[in-house]
Every structure is written in C-alpha cells, then in structure tokens.
C-alpha cells in the first residue's frame, strides 16, 4: 500500500472514531440531562395538563423547579409538595372546586399536581403570558398586579421588570427547564 493510501486510511479511521465518540458523548449527555430533568408522575401530569390545558413541559418544569419532584418538600415560606402549593392558595382553589380542604392533602402527589396545574391554568387565563404566570406563581398575584399597574409590562402582557431577584431568577429557571424538557423529550 502506498503512503497516500495509508494516510487516507488513518484519516478515515480517525474521522470515524471522532464521529462515534461524538455520538457516544451526546448519548451520555442526554442520559445525564434526563436524570437531572426527569418526567415523573407522568400519568398525573399528563392527565391534569390535558384537563386544564397547560403544556406538559411547563408542568414538568414547574415541578422540577419547585421541588425537584419531592412530594414531601416544604419551603421556608410554608409551600408544600411537588408544586409547592401554599395552604391558603390550596384552600381558595379547593373552595372554588367544591372539594374538601385539608392541608395534609398537599403531600399527596395527585392532589398537589391537580391543584398546581389548575392554578397555573387560572393564572394563564388571567395574564395570558407564561413568564408573567411564573412570576405570579412564585411571588403572588398582588405583587404582579401591582407591577402591571405600575406599567412594568409590555403590550403583550409580559413583565418588562421583575423587581424581586428571587422571582426574576425563578422565571429564568422555569424557562431553562422548559427548554431542557423540549430538547430531551420532544425530539
């Protein structure tokens, strides 16, 4: 075999190995990301996402951001469960639906997912822009309504300024999670 053919074979083998290594790296990166951004409680999330017309990836992103899928999570502010529902919000929502209310029910994944997604749908009906919904989900309707009254919103209803750093970062984290879920599961 002449020198040129040997060199060509070496280049082709290296190119093939590079492609294979790249594919393997992408495979493991996706596996790692799927472990970090899982789809847990799928039956419940899909059921209530469909019922309340909230995109599934938004539901997963909020759950991941709020509790990392821990149904026993409790925040320093007293929010409970997978979607970190405040007991007062749960009491209001359960009164609207005519259901019985008991704070301990928020530890039940189905109850928490159902009411969390129901609340997201109500917020979307009110604001019509997901970033504004996420801000309200995090810091409350009163604050968001105040920011809107102060003109901190564009013509589409999206907040142009979120004065609370924690809420601003929350909106960013939820959007990052949505993008990850779309990339990983909507191929």
Q: CA-CA distance, 6 to 162, in Å (whole number)? A: 63
C-alpha distance across the termini of the chain, in Å: 45
- The CA distance from 158 to 176, in Å, is 17
Q: Which residues of 127-147 are buried (b: 16+ CB within 10 A; e: fewer)?
A: bebbbbbbbbbbbeeebbeeb
**37 within 8 A of 105, measured Cβ to Cβ:** no
Q: Which residue numbers are catalytic?
A: 66
């Amino acid at each position: 075999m002449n020198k040129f053919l040997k060199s060509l074979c070496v280049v082709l083998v290296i190119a093939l190995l590079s492609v294979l290594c790249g594919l393997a790296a992408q495979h493991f990166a996706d596996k790692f990301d799927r472990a970090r951004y899982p789809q847990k409680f799928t039956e419940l999330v899909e059921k209530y996402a469909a019922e309340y017309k909230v995109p599934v990836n938004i539901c997963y992103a909020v759950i991941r951001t709020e509790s990392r899928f821990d149904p026993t999570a409790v925040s320093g502010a007293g929010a409970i469960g997978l979607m970190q529902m405040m007991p007062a919000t749960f009491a209001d929502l359960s009164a609207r639906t005519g259901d019985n209310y008991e704070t301990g029910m928020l530890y039940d994944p189905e109850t928490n997912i159902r009411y969390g997604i129901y609340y997201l749908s109500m917020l979307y009906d009110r604001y019509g822009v997901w970033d504004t919904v996420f801000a309200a989900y995090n810091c409350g309707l009163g604050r968001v309504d105040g920011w809107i009254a102060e003109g901190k919103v564009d013509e589409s209803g999206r907040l142009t300024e979120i004065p609370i750093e924690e809420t601003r970062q929350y909106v960013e984290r939820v959007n990052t999670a949505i993008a990850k879920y779309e990339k990983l599961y909507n191929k």
